[in-house]
Structure 1
Amino acid sequence: MIKYLFAIAFLWMNATNAQNHSDVAYGIFQTSGIRIGAYSLNNHTGLGDIKWRFKTRGKVFSSPAICKDIAYIGSEDHNLYAINLQTGKLLWKFTTGGAVHSSPAVYKNIVYFGSYDGYYYSLNAATGKLVWKFKTAGERKVGAKGLWTMSPKDQYMEDQYDFFLSSPVLDLNDKDLTVYFGSSDGNLYALNAHTGKKKWAFKTNGIIRASPALYQGKVYIGSWDTFLYALDARTGKLEWKFATGKQPVYHLLEGIQSSPTCAYGMVYFGSRDGFFYALNADNGKQVWKYGADNSWVLTTAAIKDGSVYIGTSDTFLFLAFDAKTGKEKLRFKTNGYIYSSPFISGNTAYFGDFSGSLFAVDLRTGRLAGKFSTAGRTKNAANVLNPKGDIDFNFLAKGMNNSLYATSVTVMNKLYTLGPIVSSPVISNDVIYFGSADGYLYAINLN
């Protein structure tokens, strides 16, 4: 039996029974009944040596799911992979028509995930054979002409920080077994998980990148239209919606990519408007919010022992707050943007940053307890990071015109050589698993 509880977006069950479901995949972006964040029942204190790494042919933004000694993960190379946990060897792969940036969920020998080809898939988890697929109205990157006022103004530009697709959530308390996920077509879908038949869909006014959260009979989802929605989980009827910040010129900046987390009668989520929010889960009223100095908050919060843990983008911060009051309790600075959501084991938090480092942070002291560098970071950090060892756009763009979209693309391609960790880690049996933009799924032993 896999020895940890989880939250963050795939499955919905009674938290006290979560550890008894040996046929459930545990991983980041999964949800327990009280949705309290990903954490281990063990007490790991740091990082050991590498166990193995598995190479795909594309960047890995997907987060792994672990079930029955198999790791499942998607890649930009259009494949979902099933990897043997002990050996790191390929068991099978399933090829779709697009990049697999959604994170998989596994339950009762079925794996669920989405692809940029516009389909959400259900596969036999042991063999990779297709069970069903559901076609959305299409998946696409966020973008616009003259994005963020960059030049040339008549050129269509994709948002290079649009990394994820919405990942599936299963309602295990539903006798019909419902799977929920969002889409670029603006809909939150509820399907019969056995057949793939649509039960209902709720239309927002923007693409959906966040993964839904199920809590006390409601499903919560954020949209690029800047609203967080609370819907009746059975019918899809709107209960309430909450508006985050919005600016007319930079409207594509403010969408909600962070997936919500629920506990203590509250729903927690971050936004591109530079704030992290805590709302009353029943009525959507704001309880508190944290201003991140105009830094995006794209991570999904983990909550443990009355504290909520998040990461920020441009300020490079890992933070802890009192879950009820919002009072800051811990701050730890990394070397790059944090889009990887934390996994907590005992008194240690594990997460990655865009400079290619996986961090272990002691939650009692706020100090570094361990650090691992991806293959890309080890090879290229000296040529890509600034003299302080940090990501620095202006340092990389020196001699180029910062107003040009081409400059932004060039800088991002340099950053990708570091092997950024956007994937969120998962711990199983004293090993931590995570993906990297260098194309690897890593397995690292824990202390």
Structure 2
Amino acid sequence: MPCTRTGSKWFARSSLESRRGKPSITDCRGAHVTRVGRRRVVWLAVLIGVLCVPVVAVGPLGALDPVGAAAASDAPEEPGEEIWNASTGDGVYSSPTVSNGVVYVGSWDDNLYAFDAENGSERWTASTGDRVYSSPTVSNGVVYVGSWDHNLTAFDAENGSERWTASTGDRVYSSPTVSNGVVYVGSSAGNLTAFDAENGSERWNTSTGDRVSSSPTVSNGVVYVGSNDDTLYAFDAENGSERWTASTGLWVGSSPTVSNGVVYVGSKDDTLYAFDAENGSERWTASAGFVVDSSPTVSNGVVYVGSGAGSLYAFDAENGSERWTASTGHWVDSSPTVSNGVVYVGSDDYNLYAFDAENGSERWTASTGNDVDSSPTVSNGVVYVGSEDGNLYAFETSHSNDSSGSRVRLGTLGHVGDRANQSSDPIEPIDGAVPQDLDGDGLHEDINANGQVDFPDVNAFFQHTDEAVVQDHATAYDFTGDGRVDPQDVLVLFELV
């Protein structure tokens, strides 16, 4: 099992044992490695010598246990097995955010809820003035969420006390996004507004031609958002000036996502669009059979999106060709997430689905009591999702990874970790080279920008892991998907060589 340290604490993570079928490490002092040559063993020995000493194992949800400690008496849950469910007073359309062991989600009973991620016990509830369709965002210990009471409200993540509230001018369907100390959110007034994350003061406000139910996404200093005026907008994140607009055939309720210089978004005209992030020129379009209210996510060069046709689609991110399609029993408004080679998405047939990301084969389904329009979020091997039956559900996955893919990594419609540690600024050079994302999943594994993942990449990443050039761009280097960058990520990068 790979081992490493944070400060003076040493730990191991079983989630790294079989990453992409690569080497498994069973002991830190006498490492057993499979499928590695002599050169890899030397590199691994160097890494382990620096990163490892006494071995401990990771217990449930990250708890540390000494090696040899007695295992829990309960047998491991099967994939798709319900771990717990927690009741709210009305339908849960909001998508969950998981941060520091707490799951945050809104409800149509006019409340924001905080549940313990491990057992579903209620930590606190906070009242808003009306229904909460919006999905919460957590940054710097503050939870931000919109409500139909025409406000964006900031709550203390620890105890639910209100920090501030700011008017949006109309109902908020849109989910807020936080980047560089600014909260961006749309409203039914047709506006996109930027608020100061610390005190709620308005930074800027800009208008579109109709209601904004789409949730904004921030990337490289630009805010992208859809509008019911049949348009995708790109605004300057600093001052709200319009960079460009791109037309679709009908209104855009889908929330955009950005990967590898391309913006992907769905439209009511049954189409998924790919636009150039820099200038808005159309790269390609792909038919999804019916209305696309689902928000796309990109992982490993594939765009996944749901459709009103009752299907989940997988399109090639580069050219829009269809990789596969998988059927559910009803409309798919839920937005997919990807984790450990599996795509998770809800359906209006009351089920959460798990499909193989490579070929679309069904892995498992899990039932709820009503439509699942909420978008799932995976944290530490648990899938969290809301249902219109008024419950938040936690389902087992059989792995211990988090959501990957562009939607969750950019903090759109739920996310993992604290957004304050996740920058959307352009990647900075490391040792003179700008690290590259080779497969379009948002992770920049080619540290020396030579077109491949090699040992010099591992060495450069190891040398700079704790520095601002890496830590200020955590989403680009969080190879374990645990919301932070640390020596664990060095080991995962090594396994990709």
TM-score of the pair, normalised by structure 1? 0.71
Q: Which has the higher strand share?
A: 1
Measured after TM superposition, the shift of residue 363 of structure 1 is 2.0
**Counterpart of 1:242?**
246
AA of the residue aligned to 2:363: A
Query: Which of 343, 347, 350 lines up with 2:341 in the alignment?
Result: 347
2: distance between equivalents of 1:342 and 1:336?
15
**Counterpart of 2:284?**
288
Q: Say if 1:47 and 1:372, in contact at 8 Å, map to a contact too.
A: no
Q: Say if 1:124 and 1:130, in contact at 8 Å, map to a contact too.
A: yes
Runs of 4+ in 1 over 6 A off after TM superposition: 1-4
Q: Say if 1:98 and 1:116, in contact at 8 Å, map to a contact too.
A: yes
Q: Say if 2:336 and 2:344, in contact at 8 Å, map to a contact too.
A: yes
1:79 aligns with 2:133: no
1: distance between equivalents of 2:116 and 2:150?
28
Q: Report Cα offsets for 1:343-387 as digits up to 9, x if no partner.
A: 11121111110011111101223211011111x2xxxxxxxxxxx
1: distance between equivalents of 2:129 and 2:220?
36
Q: Report Cα offsets for 1:420-444 as digits up to 9, x if no partner.
A: 0000111111211000000000011
AA of the residue aligned to 1:240: W
Q: Say if 1:110 and 1:122, in contact at 8 Å, map to a contact too.
A: yes
* Relative contact order, higher structure (CA 8 A, sep 6+): 1
Q: Say if 1:46 and 1:370, in contact at 8 Å, map to a contact too.
A: no
Question: Which has the higher Rg, Structure 1 or Structure 2?
Answer: 2
Query: Which of 433, 436, 439 lines up with 2:387 in the alignment?
Result: 436
**Counterpart of 2:375?**
424
**Counterpart of 1:93?**
125
**Counterpart of 1:310?**
305
**Counterpart of 1:398?**
none
**Counterpart of 1:445?**
396
2: distance between equivalents of 1:136 and 1:365?
43
**Counterpart of 1:221?**
225
**Counterpart of 2:177?**
169
Q: Say if 2:93 and 2:388, in contact at 8 Å, map to a contact too.
A: yes
**Counterpart of 1:187?**
191
1: distance between equivalents of 2:283 and 2:241?
24
AA of the residue aligned to 2:381: D
2: distance between equivalents of 1:55 and 1:168?
24
**Counterpart of 1:210?**
214
Gaps of 5+ in 2: 1-5, 7-12, 17-76, 399-497
Q: 1:90 to 1:204 in 2, by over 3 A?
A: same
Q: How many residues are matched?
A: 326
**Counterpart of 1:372?**
366
AA of the residue aligned to 1:438: D
1: distance between equivalents of 2:102 and 2:239?
34
Identity %: 37
1: distance between equivalents of 2:267 and 2:169?
25
Q: Say if 2:288 and 2:313, in contact at 8 Å, map to a contact too.
A: no
Q: Report Cα offsets for 1:129-177 as digits up to 9, x if no partner.
A: 010000121217xxxxxxxxxxxxxxxxxxxxxxxx1011111xx3xx1
1: distance between equivalents of 2:193 and 2:90?
28
**Counterpart of 1:196?**
200
Q: Say if 1:227 and 1:244, in contact at 8 Å, map to a contact too.
A: yes
AA of the residue aligned to 1:434: V
TM-score of the pair, normalised by structure 2? 0.64
- SS in structure 2 at match of 1:48: coil
- SS in structure 2 at match of 1:366: coil
Measured after TM superposition, the shift of residue 47 of structure 1 is 2.4
Query: Which of 68, 72, 79 lines up with 2:100 in the alignment?
Result: 68
AA of the residue aligned to 2:333: Y
2: distance between equivalents of 1:85 and 1:52?
10
2: distance between equivalents of 1:446 and 1:358?
12
Query: Which of 253, 256, 259 lines up with 1:260 in the alignment?
Result: 256
AA of the residue aligned to 2:269: D
Q: Say if 1:46 and 1:348, in contact at 8 Å, map to a contact too.
A: no
Measured after TM superposition, the shift of residue 46 of structure 1 is 7.8
2: distance between equivalents of 1:322 and 1:301?
12
- SS in structure 1 at match of 2:126: strand
Q: CA RMSD in A?
A: 1.8
Measured after TM superposition, the shift of residue 292 of structure 1 is 2.6
Measured after TM superposition, the shift of residue 107 of structure 1 is 1.4
2: distance between equivalents of 1:309 and 1:289?
14
Measured after TM superposition, the shift of residue 282 of structure 1 is 1.0
Q: Report Cα offsets for 1:382-425 as digits up to 9, x if no partner.
A: xxxxxxxxxxxxxxxxxxxxxxxxxxxxxxxxxxxxx0000011
Q: Say if 1:81 and 1:94, in contact at 8 Å, map to a contact too.
A: yes
AA of the residue aligned to 2:104: Y
**Counterpart of 1:332?**
326
Q: Report Cα offsets for 1:103-125 as digits up to 9, x if no partner.
A: 00111210000010111000111
1:129 aligns with 2:80: no
Q: Say if 1:228 and 1:242, in contact at 8 Å, map to a contact too.
A: yes
AA of the residue aligned to 1:201: N
- SS in structure 2 at match of 1:296: coil
**Counterpart of 2:272?**
276
Measured after TM superposition, the shift of residue 95 of structure 1 is 0.9
AA of the residue aligned to 2:165: K
Gaps of 5+ in 1: 5-44, 141-164, 246-253, 377-418
